[in-house]
């Protein structure tokens, strides 16, 4: 089936996204009576992406690190080529559709919201809401063009009254080959609302005054997530909410009539404990004097957790990078994992399917295998793990065998390092051991060749060290470096807002990998970018200051877990 009729609608969607960078939204009914988008959507909303104020987001982006990057004089020769190319595209667009790229960019004047709702039951419907403000001329041109294209391609256009609102409905051609059967919309004083189901559009109209008690805004899980993620009274730059299990359930409901076996998946969700995962939501909040922005994400899980979700249990603890981690590393991540609960969750799942004691029998079999090292996976390995895990990555040198692969080291906390050392020594003596051993700083290092690199393992005190680079492992074994990450100004600036105890912490410099990609692009083939000279990109050293360090922490909550991320503020 031809899909040319979709092009004007796609152009409209492109216009909605041309004016902002992040997904999100809020709905303004009247100047003195603001109705947020979540008040207009039903409780059955499964995806919600909203920008409350697109112009405000654009302004925030202009003041951000990347806004300053785009304004840097050294980048302008390259951007002049990009603008010239966009001018050509804009001229073609105006000739074909009647609007320019600038018109499209200026179209969102307030909120923009995208949602997926289960309306009617067992059907997923997309909903798009946009405040075009005084840009009605551009909006009218796009709607007129869309209408003409849809009708020309065989769509059946009709109108119907829903309350006092006129709804335009297009029955789309294509039969069963076309997954979207309907496109409907209505407009009201600069606002336009689209949906792929008339029933979903009606649910919005019913809530148009913002006084309904049956809305996403009143939904318990959504309300809890937003309270955890909104900074005081400040309006977020964007909002996000996703109900992944609800999407699976609704999707299966749509196909179950044609494929009854799909219903088996629904029966598996409670067995695996996945029905306890209620939603994932978050916000992007404006920055302050210290940070470019902060992003919050909350994972809402019904308690008590069971099944698969029980594997992901991270109690809060005091965490800091080890003294050997240099202030030059690309990233550091620390976490505190409940190994006992994770094992218990896995054991419960396996035994549910294989019968009581099934996992224990499998693990005992490994230990009793006379052809193996006779190491018991649980008693000799799992039971020795304390749950503390730290991961360090660094950027490989340009003369390395594969400089695009970062160097990595992992530190796994142990309850009894001496016992684990005995287990490793026992494994090394077994027939067919694939590695070799050597001594460093009175420690035994086990090395395993892997293509052009070497994977190394060693025990130091109550820590198991694993690394993809021998030098990085040796640094960890010495336990020291010239200047530790924990003493660096960047690390201190990012983590000063971290709680004393956390489940997970992360520090990351984007500079390393981005520099590699940037240099590849700058030195690449210009023939792939007609009219844009990549050689005009400045040297990396001229823009490196704009790629600031980022930090993240996670803390447990009675309803799940909260993740908070920061990026350092813009350089002056």
Residue 405 has pLDDT above 70, yes or no: no
Q: Is the pLDDT of residue 335 over 70?
A: yes
- 102 pLDDT band (50/70/90 cuts)? very high
Tokens standing for residue 233: 């009274």
DSSP, collapsed to helix, strand or coil, labels residue 332 as strand
Q: Taking a C-beta distance cutoff of 8 angstroms, is the pair 114, 108 a contact? A: no
Does position 524 have pLDDT exceeding 90, yes or no? no
Binned at pLDDT 50, 70 and 90, residue 97 comes out as: confident
The conformation of residue 75, written as its DSSP 8-state character, comes to G
d(C-alpha 201, C-alpha 185), whole Å = 7
Residue 257: which pLDDT band, with cuts at 50, 70 and 90?
Answer: low
Per-chain mean pLDDT for the chain: 87
194 vs 108, 109, 152, 226, CA distance in Å? 15, 17, 20, 25
Q: What is the pLDDT of residue 3?
A: 38
**Rounded to whole angstroms, what are the CA distances from 321 to 203, 414, 472, 496?**
51, 17, 15, 14
Q: Average the pLDDT over 429-445 and give the result.
A: 92
Cβ neighbors of 12 (< 8 A, separation 6 or more) are 142, 143, 146
Q: Decide if 11 contacts 86 (C-beta within 8 A).
A: no
Looking at residue 521, its pLDDT comes to: 86
CB atoms closer than 10 angstroms to residue 256: 16
More confident residue, 569 or 526: 569
Pair 283, 230: CB distance under 8 Å: yes
Q: What pLDDT score does 530 carry?
A: 80
DSSP string for residues in 162-182: ETTEEEEEEE-SSGGG-S--E
Q: Is there a contact between 65 and 570 (Cβ–Cβ < 8 Å)? A: yes
Residue 416: count other Cβ atoms within 10 Å of its Cβ. Answer: 12
| Rounded Cα distance, 501 and 514, in Å | 31
Would you state the pLDDT for residue 404?
60
Residues with Cβ within 8 Å of residue 236, at least 6 apart in sequence = 24, 52, 229, 230, 283, 284, 285, 286
CA-atom Rg of the chain in angstroms: 28
SS3 (DSSP) at 72: coil
> Distance between CA 83 and CA 435 in Å, rounded?
56
pLDDT at residue 2 is higher than 60? no
Q: Are strands 45-51 and 238-242 parallel, antiparallel or unpaired?
A: antiparallel
Q: Which of 16-30, 197-211, 291-305, 495-509 has the lowest mean pLDDT?
A: 16-30
Angle 192-196-201 (CA atoms, 0-180°, nearest 5)?
55
**How many angstroms separate the first and last alpha carbons of the chain?**
54
Identify the pLDDT of residue 406: 74
What is the torsional sign of CA 539, 543, 545, 551? negative
> What does the pLDDT look like over 465-500, one tens digit per residue?
999 988 899 999 999 888 999 999 999 999 998 999
Dihedral sign for Cα 13, 19, 22, 27, please.
Answer: negative
pLDDT of amino acid 204? 96
> Element (H or E) spanning 299, and its range?
strand 291-301
Tokens of 464: 């198991």
**Number of neighbouring beta carbons within 10 Å of residue 470:** 17
What pLDDT is stored for residue 232 in this prediction?
Answer: 78
Q: What is the mean pLDDT of residues 366-375?
A: 81
pLDDT band of 18, cuts 50, 70, 90: very low
pLDDT at 19 over 70: no
Judging by DSSP bridges, how do beta strands 436-440 and 182-188 pair with one another?
unpaired
User: Is the backbone peptide bond immediately before 304 cis, with ω within 30 degrees of 0?
Assistant: yes
What count of residues does the chain have? 572
- What one-character DSSP code corresponds to residue 481? -
- pTM (2 d.p.): 0.89
Q: Quote the pLDDT of residue 526.
A: 66
**pLDDT tens for each residue of 120-179:** 888 899 999 999 999 989 999 999 999 999 999 899 999 999 988 999 999 998 776 777
**9 pLDDT more than 60:** no
Q: Mean pLDDT check: name the lowest of 361-370, 394-403, 473-482.
A: 394-403
- Residue 240 has phi, psi (to 5 degrees) of -145, 140
Looking at residues 99-128, what average pLDDT do you find? 92
């Amino acid at each position: 089936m031809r899909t040319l009729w979709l092009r004007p609608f796609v152009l409209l969607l492109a216009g909605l996204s041309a004016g902002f960078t992040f997904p999100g939204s809020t709905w303004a009914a009247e100047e003195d009576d603001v109705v947020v988008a979540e008040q207009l959507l039903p409780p059955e909303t499964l995806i919600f992406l909203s920008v409350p104020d697109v112009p405000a987001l654009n302004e925030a982006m202009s003041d951000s690190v990347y806004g300053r990057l785009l304004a840097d004089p050294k980048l302008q020769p390259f951007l002049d080529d990009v603008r010239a190319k966009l001018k050509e595209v804009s001229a073609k667009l105006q000739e074909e559709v009647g609007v320019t790229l600038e018109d499209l960019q200026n179209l969102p004047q307030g909120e923009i919201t995208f949602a997926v709702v289960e309306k009617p039951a067992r059907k997923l419907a997309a909903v798009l809401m946009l405040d075009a403000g005084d840009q009605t001329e551009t909006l009218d041109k796009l709607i007129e063009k869309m209408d003409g294209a849809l009708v020309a391609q065989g769509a059946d256009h009709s109108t119907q009254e829903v309350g006092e609102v006129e709804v335009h409905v297009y029955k789309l051609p294509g039969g069963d080959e076309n997954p979207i059967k309907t496109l409907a919309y209505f407009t009201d004083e600069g606002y336009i609302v689209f949906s792929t189901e008339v029933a979903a559009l009606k649910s919005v109209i019913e809530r148009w005054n913002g006084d309904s008690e049956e809305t996403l805004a009143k939904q318990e899980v959504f309300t809890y997530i937003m309270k955890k993620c909104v900074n005081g009274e400040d309006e977020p730059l964007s909002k996000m909410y996703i109900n992944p299990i609800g999407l699976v359930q609704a999707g299966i409901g749509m196909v179950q009539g044609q494929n009854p076996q799909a219903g088996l998946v629904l029966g598996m969700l409670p067995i695996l404990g996945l029905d306890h995962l209620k939603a994932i939501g978050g916000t992007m909040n404006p920055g302050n004097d210290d940070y470019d922005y902060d992003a919050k994400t909350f994972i809402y899980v019904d308690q008590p957790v069971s099944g698969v979700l029980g594997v992901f249990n991270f109690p809060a603890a005091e965490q800091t990078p080890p003294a050997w981690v240099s202030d030059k590393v690309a990233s550091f991540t620390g976490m505190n994992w409940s190994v006992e609960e994770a094992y218990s969750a896995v054991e419960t799942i396996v035994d549910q399917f294989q019968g009581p004691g099934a996992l224990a029998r499998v693990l005992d079999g490994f230990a009793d295998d006379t052809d193996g090292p006779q190491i018991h996976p649980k008693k000799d390995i799992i039971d020795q793990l304390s749950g503390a895990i730290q991961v360090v990555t660094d950027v490989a040198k340009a003369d390395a065998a594969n400089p695009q692969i970062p160097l990595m080291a992992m530190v796994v906390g142990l309850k009894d390092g001496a016992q684990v050392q005995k287990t490793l020594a026992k494994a090394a003596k077994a027939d067919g051991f694939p590695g070799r051993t050597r001594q460093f700083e009175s420690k035994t290092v086990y090395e395993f060749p892997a293509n052009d690199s070497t994977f190394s393992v060693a025990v130091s005190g109550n820590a198991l060290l694993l690394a993809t680079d021998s030098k990085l492992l040796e640094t960890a074994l010495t336990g020291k470096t010239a200047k530790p990450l924990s003493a660096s100004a960047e690390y201190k600036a990012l983590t000063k807002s971290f709680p004393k105890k956390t489940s997970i912490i992360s520090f990351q410099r984007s500079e390393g990998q981005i520099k590699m990609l940037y240099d590849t692009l700058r030195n690449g083939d210009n023939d792939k970018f007609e009219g844009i000279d990549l050689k005009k990109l400045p040297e990396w050293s001229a823009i490196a200051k704009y790629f600031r360090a980022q930090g993240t922490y996670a803390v447990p909550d009675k309803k799940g877990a909260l993740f908070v991320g920061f990026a350092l503020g813009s350089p002056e």
